[in-house]
């Protein structure tokens, strides 16, 4: 049932190109010009009435929601807040009838996320669920449902569900932008064209697994490491850090690159590994100067950059992994893949139970 792979996690990482195609293709019109989400049952009138969006989820799904915030804000220019569900439900969030609440959950059964959904509905908001399980509690109770067609995810560490959630946010953001007229038709078409290239681009990253295995093996000798980035790179850094912690048990922190000098830089010492995401071209000079700060304190830096800028970034880092070129907004759908593989191989090198990490359950139905 692992289809020749040693672990479900590795199998699921390799299923991402298919998960991308399955989640996106039926929702893109044949001419490749727009996204159609009739299944949502959301009228244009309702879409036009949305004044703010709250995204609520836990763990990895929350990290997808951090990317979702940037996607919706940049495509639609509606304010978006992203919260972890266990905080949201107890902080008296300001929910009004013109708030759209989006809950994100692979399993559709996470207790805190389900409670947040109910809290939102009690306050008169409509809830859109992005979930991987048709007929789950969250799918049944939500007002609108967008299914991620990632297929069954068995490994406790979520991979293909996360990346499919990113695709769901791209689709939903484009659907909103198209309905409201928030973006030029030509730009929407450009994003769609780039999205269609993602499956093959992920395949080309998977072909470079051997390099990432080596990186993971050297990381596995360390007790602490850092992930840094700006913008959506920071969101991906948080997901990379969580993945590494949960299956390799190595302590890591994700930091907004510009925030290091406000305290955390004190922890950078000789030899500490830092994984720096540098995919956002308009922020890239800034991140390079943060890389210089950590290098000056002895950090060993792996840069993850876009093809095209990799030669420039390579000058500032010790090692470089290039991801295929895509639009800045879409880069998380590629840049997370090397981080998933690094976590996988680090766990393997440390001989941990990759698919069933200690203390964790696949579905968290208790608070
Ligand atoms: C991490 C992981 C968890 C889940 C979280 C939410 O790899 O899998 O952080 O993302 O427990 O689960 P769902 O998405 O089922 O609500």
H-state helical runs in 160-280? 160-180, 185-206, 209-219, 232-248
- Is 267 within 8 Å of 294 (Cβ atoms)? no
pLDDT in tens, the chain (367 residues): 898 999 999 999 999 999 999 999 999 999 999 999 999 999 999 999 999 999 999 999 999 999 999 999 999 999 999 999 999 989 999 999 999 999 999 999 999 999 999 999 999 999 999 999 999 999 999 999 999 999 999 999 999 999 999 999 999 999 999 999 999 999 999 999 999 999 999 999 999 999 999 999 999 999 999 999 999 999 999 999 999 999 999 999 999 999 999 989 899 999 999 999 999 989 989 999 999 999 999 999 999 999 999 899 999 999 999 999 999 999 999 999 999 999 999 999 999 988 888 888 888 888 7
Measured in angstroms, how far is the CA atom of residue 8 from the centroid of ligand 1? Answer: 16
Output the residue whose Cα is nearest ligand 1's atom 3.
59
Cα radius of gyration rounded to whole Å, the chain: 20
Is residue 340 in contact with ligand 1, taking CB distance under 6 Å? no
Contact at 8 Å (CB) between 304 and 275? yes
Beta bridge partners of 304: 277, 321
Residue 195 CA to chain centroid, in angstroms? 15
Distance 32 CA to ligand 1 centre (A): 32
Q: Whose CA is nearest to atom 10 of ligand 1?
A: 60
Residue nearest ligand 1's atom 5 by CA:
59
Residues 248-289 pLDDT 10s: 999 999 999 999 999 898 999 999 999 999 999 899 899 999
Answer whether 326 contacts ligand 1 (Cβ < 6 A): no
Would you say the CB of residue 136 lies under 6 angstroms from ligand 1?
A: no
Q: What is the pTM of this model?
A: 0.98
Q: Is the CB of 336 under 6 A from ligand 1?
A: no
Residue 58 CA to ligand 1 center (angstroms) comes to: 6
Relative to the CA of 243, which ligand 1 atom is closest? 7
Active site residues: 362
- Per DSSP bridges, beta strands 52-57 and 224-229 are unpaired
C-alpha 166/C-alpha 184 separation (Å) is 22
Q: Is 58 in the pocket of ligand 1 (CB under 6 A)?
A: yes
Contacts of 323 (CB under 8 A, 6+ apart): 201, 205, 279, 304, 305, 306, 307, 331, 334, 335, 337, 338
> Measured in angstroms, how far is the CA atom of residue 268 from the centroid of ligand 1?
30
Q: Which of 3, 327, 358, 31 is nearest to 152 (CA)?
A: 3
User: Would you tell me how many other CB atoms lie within 10 Å of the CB of residue 49?
Assistant: 12
DSSP 50-110: --EEEEEE-HHHHHHHHHHHHHHHHHH---EEEEEHHHHTTS-----TTEEEEEEESSS--
Output the CA–CA distances (angstroms, integers) from residue 16 to 3, 56, 144, 209, 364, in the order listed: 14, 24, 25, 14, 23
């Amino acid at each position: 049932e692992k289809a020749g792979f040693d672990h479900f996690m590795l199998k699921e990482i390799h299923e991402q190109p298919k998960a991308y195609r399955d989640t996106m293709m039926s929702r893109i019109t044949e001419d490749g010009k727009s996204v159609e989400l009739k299944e949502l049952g959301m009228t244009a009138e309702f879409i036009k009435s949305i004044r703010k969006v709250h995204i609520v989820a836990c763990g990895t799904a929350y990290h997808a929601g951090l990317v979702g915030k940037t996607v919706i804000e940049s495509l639609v220019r509606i304010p978006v807040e992203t919260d972890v569900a266990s905080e949201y439900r107890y902080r008296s969030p300001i929910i009004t009838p013109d708030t759209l609440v989006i809950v994100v959950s692979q399993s559709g059964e996470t207790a805190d996320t389900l409670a947040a959904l109910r809290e939102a509905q009690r306050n008169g908001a409509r809830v859109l669920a992005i979930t991987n399980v048709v007929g789950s509690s969250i799918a049944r109770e939500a007002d609108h449902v967008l299914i991620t067609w990632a297929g069954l995810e068995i490994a406790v560490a979520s991979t293909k569900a996360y990346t499919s959630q990113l695709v769901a946010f791209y689709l939903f953001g484009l659907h909103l932008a198209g309905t409201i007229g928030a973006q030029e038709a030509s730009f929407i078409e450009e994003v769609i064209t780039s999205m269609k290239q993602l499956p093959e681009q992920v395949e080309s990253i998977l072909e470079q697994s051997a390099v990432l295995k080596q990186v993971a093996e050297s990381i596995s000798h360390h007790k602490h490491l850092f992930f840094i980035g700006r913008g959506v790179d920071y969101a991906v850094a948080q997901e990379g850090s969580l993945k590494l912690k949960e299956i390799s048990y190595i302590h890591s922190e994700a930091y907004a690159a510009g925030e290091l000098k406000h305290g955390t830089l004190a922890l950078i010492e000789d030899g500490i590994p830092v994984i720096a995401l540098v995919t956002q071209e308009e922020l890239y000079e800034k991140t390079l100067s943060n890389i210089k700060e950590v290098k000056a304190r002895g950090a060993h830096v792996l840069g993850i950059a876009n093809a095209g800028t990799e030669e420039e970034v390579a000058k500032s880092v010790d090692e470089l992994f290039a991801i295929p070129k895509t639009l800045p907004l879409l880069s998380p759908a590629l840049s997370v893949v090397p981080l998933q593989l690094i976590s996988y191989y680090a766990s393997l090198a440390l001989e941990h139970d990759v698919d069933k990490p200690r203390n964790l359950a696949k579905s968290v139905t208790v608070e």
